């Protein structure tokens, strides 16, 4: 048993507890896991919007090149160039200023005197566009980078390859801090902590390079570049005609107008997520230039996730904000609670299951032990009468006993031992039948007083031969019960036989039959002895199969542990019971209770 329990504990209980402990530990990470899932989802949204914005800018760049080319068609390029600012703004409203410069460093348009914007533009960009000054610019020219870089570098990570290219051309890079710090960063392991996330996000991936205008445009036909002048962003598109490569036509974009145009894209943030998140196009100062949910208030500098748009709009970002930041915590709490409950139920189920298994195992082992005891008890009970029967029948058969008195006494012993054997075998057979559900009762109306008296009187000689004093008390009237006569007689004999077996020196047995009316009308046959009595706490257990309160070894009294089990089962089948009570002054009282038949009229049929 101990071994089985140990194996059970090691194979089932300990692993279950370890699993439960691991599950409880994983609960602590629920909020983080949820945040990771959400951040991956929303990062996808931000990345997608940033790509859309870049695509829209590329389209604007294409439209600008087409507009410039249309203006030049069939006309003298230098003549067009001189009024390019006016013409371009008329044709293409996104242009704040149109400019035309030659590679030799002459600004043909705009004229600083024409309007305040033109003068400001010339002040800010004049020296740079005429190649007299190298400035920090954000260059978005993948063609230029790809052409200049070796093939192997082009397939490696783009930022490093870009650094190589810039170094070769004598350009320098500067790391700038971002305007917004997202709360979540996809790809940074949580164990590195919030500080790592912040430092990862602190610096912008969009980097400026210092160069001259001529150097930047190289041999290309068009491009976009951005630069900060007095902390103010200026985005320039440029283009040159194939037939006049010395002339560069360009436009400085009207950023408020561009923001309005791009705002339309932000409005179309993933419709299925509109109830959860708000997207914003943040300008280079971290302020929202366009918001998907007008009127929403948020800490714009701390989006949930964010993506930088790129070199064309340096330090502009798409930020995604949670409309209800507490919802994530609430969901995590709900998940935690549900999983916690599940784990608790699981552990409880394992605990209860284990307890039931161990209890059942215990019961089975005990039953197995009792069955072994039973076999040895029954064998012994069979052997003892058989030995006497054989001994006395041999004596009689060989005519070694001639005295008639002795002969009668020996025959009496043989009869008594045969009756004992029959009783034992009947008990075993009946028990087996009841266990298999095959026991058939023949219920008939009968007089219980007559039946009990007859049975007790049949047993009397055996008791008196053993030195017992048997006192009986019978009611005067007959009491009708519906019963199987043989089965009821077997119960009475079992009780009498026990009274005989478990009596010591005080050999005094009392049989009393009483009528009871409450709670239901019934007859009660009580057999009391002055014997060993039943040990305390065993009053109910003695009715269990194979259970013996006085085992053969310690008491020397033989038995199978089936007599009372059978007596109770038979009584129950009759709608009655057999109960035990200690007898006042020492000994035991066993009572067989049977319900009175409704036809108790005193002259019922078949009695």
List of residues contacting ligand ADP (CB under 6 A): 498-499, 502, 529, 531-534, 542, 548-550, 559-565, 588
Q: Is 469 helix (H, G, I), strand (E, B) or coil?
A: strand
- What is the smallest separation between the CB atom of 467 and ligand ADP, expressed in angstroms? 17
- What is the smallest separation between the CB atom of 403 and ligand ADP, expressed in angstroms? 35
- What is the smallest separation between the CB atom of 370 and ligand ADP, expressed in angstroms? 11
Within 10 A of 131 (CB to CB), how many other CB atoms are there?
15
Considering only CA atoms, which of 562, 556, 505, 563 is closest in space to residue 531? 505
Our CB check for ligand ADP shows the closer of 182 and 533 to be: 533
Please state, in angstroms and rounded to a whole number, the distance separating the CA atoms of residues 549 and 534. Answer: 7
Task: Give 370: exposed, middle or buried? Use CB within 10 Å, 0-12, 13-18, 19+.
Answer: middle
- What is the smallest separation between the CB atom of 593 and ligand ADP, expressed in angstroms? 17
Within 10 A of 210 (CB to CB), how many other CB atoms are there?
15
Considering only CA atoms, which of 472, 471, 470, 491 is closest in space to residue 481? 491
Our CB check for ligand ADP shows the closer of 213 and 547 to be: 547
Our CB check for ligand ADP shows the closer of 87 and 498 to be: 498
- What is the smallest separation between the CB atom of 555 and ligand ADP, expressed in angstroms? 8
Beta strands in 315-411 (DSSP E): 317-322
Our CB check for ligand ADP shows the closer of 61 and 528 to be: 528
Secondary structure (DSSP) of 171-211: --EE--B-S---S--TTS-GGGHHHHHHHHHHB-S--EEEE
Secondary structure (DSSP) of 526-541: EEE--SS-PPTT-TTG
- What is each CA distance from 499 to 39, 493, 511, 529, 542, in whole angstroms? 84, 10, 11, 6, 14
Our CB check for ligand ADP shows the closer of 461 and 535 to be: 535
- What is the smallest separation between the CB atom of 515 and ligand ADP, expressed in angstroms? 24
Q: Which two tokens stand for residue 466?
A: 């053993």
Question: Where is 247: in which H helix or E strand?
Answer: strand 247-253
Our CB check for ligand ADP shows the closer of 145 and 562 to be: 562
Our CB check for ligand ADP shows the closer of 234 and 498 to be: 498
- What is the smallest separation between the CB atom of 543 and ligand ADP, expressed in angstroms? 7
Our CB check for ligand ADP shows the closer of 240 and 568 to be: 568
- What is the smallest separation between the CB atom of 465 and ligand ADP, expressed in angstroms? 19
Our CB check for ligand ADP shows the closer of 298 and 562 to be: 562
| CA atoms lying within 13 Å on the CB side of residue 102 | 11
- What is the smallest separation between the CB atom of 419 and ligand ADP, expressed in angstroms? 16
Query: Residue holding tokens 């507009």?
Result: 67
């Amino acid at each position: 048993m101990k071994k089985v329990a140990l194996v059970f504990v090691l194979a089932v209980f300990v692993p279950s507890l370890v699993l439960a402990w691991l599950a409880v530990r994983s609960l602590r990470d629920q909020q983080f896991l949820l945040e990771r899932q959400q951040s991956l989802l929303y990062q996808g949204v931000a990345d997608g919007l940033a790509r859309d914005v870049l695509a829209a800018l590329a389209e604007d760049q294409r439209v600008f090149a087409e507009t410039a080319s249309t203006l030049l068609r069939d006309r003298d390029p230098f003549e067009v160039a001189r009024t390019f600012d006016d013409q371009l703004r008329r044709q293409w409203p996104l242009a704040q200023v149109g400019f035309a410069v030659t590679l030799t460093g002459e600004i043909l348009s705009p004229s600083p005197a024409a309007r305040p914007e033109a003068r400001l533009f010339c002040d800010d960009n004049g020296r740079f566009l005429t190649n007299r000054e190298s400035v920090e610019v954000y260059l978005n020219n993948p063609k230029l980078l790809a052409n200049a870089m070796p093939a192997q570098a082009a397939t490696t990570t783009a930022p490093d390859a870009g650094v190589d290219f810039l170094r070769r051309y004598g350009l320098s890079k500067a790391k700038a801090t971002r305007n917004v710090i997202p709360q979540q960063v996809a790809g940074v392991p949580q164990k590195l902590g919030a500080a790592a996330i912040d430092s990862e996000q602190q610096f912008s991936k969009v980097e400026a390079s210092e160069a001259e205008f001529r150097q930047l445009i190289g041999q290309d036909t068009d491009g976009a570049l951005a630069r900060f002048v007095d902390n103010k962003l200026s985005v320039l598109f440029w283009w040159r005609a194939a037939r006049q490569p010395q002339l560069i036509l360009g436009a400085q974009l009207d950023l408020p107008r561009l923001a309005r145009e791009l705002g339309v894209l932000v409005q179309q943030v993933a419709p299925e997520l509109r109830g959860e998140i708000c997207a914003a196009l943040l300008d280079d100062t971290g302020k929202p230039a366009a918001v998907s949910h007008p009127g929403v208030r948020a800490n714009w500098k701390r989006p949930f996730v964010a993506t930088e748009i790129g070199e064309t709009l340096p330090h502009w970002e798409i930020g995604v904000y949670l409309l209800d930041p507490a919802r994530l915590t609430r969901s995590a709490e709900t998940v935690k609670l549900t999983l916690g409950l599940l784990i608790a139920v699981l552990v409880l189920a394992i605990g209860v299951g284990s307890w039931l298994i161990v209890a059942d195992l215990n019961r089975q082992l005990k039953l197995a032990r009792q069955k072994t005891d039973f076999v040895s008890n029954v064998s012994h009970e069979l052997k003892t009468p058989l030995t006497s029967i054989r001994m006395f029948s041999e004596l009689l058969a060989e005519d070694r006993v001639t005295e008639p008195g002795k002969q009668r006494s020996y025959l009496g012993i043989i009869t008594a031992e045969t009756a004992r054997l029959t009783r034992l075998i009947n008990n075993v057979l009946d028990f087996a039948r009841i266990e298999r559900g095959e026991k058939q009762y023949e219920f008939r109306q009968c007089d219980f007083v007559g039946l009990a008296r007859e049975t007790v009187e049949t047993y009397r000689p055996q008791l008196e031969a053993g030195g017992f004093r048997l006192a009986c008390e019978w009611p005067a009237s007959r009491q009708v019960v519906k019963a199987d006569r043989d089965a009821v007689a077997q119960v009475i004999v079992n009780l009498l036989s026990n009274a005989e077996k478990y009596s010591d020196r005080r050999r005094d047995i009392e049989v009393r039959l009483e009528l009871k009316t409450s709670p239901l009308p019934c007859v009660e046959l009580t057999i009391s002895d002055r014997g060993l009595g039943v040990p305390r706490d065993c009053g109910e257990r003695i009715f269990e199969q194979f259970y013996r309160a006085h085992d053969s070894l310690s008491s020397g009294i033989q038995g199978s542990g089936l007599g009372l089990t059978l007596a109770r089962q038979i009584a129950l089948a009759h709608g009655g019971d057999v109960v035990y009570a200690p007898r006042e002054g020492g000994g035991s009282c066993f009572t067989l209770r049977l319900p009175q038949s409704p036809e108790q009229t005193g002259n019922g049929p078949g009695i």
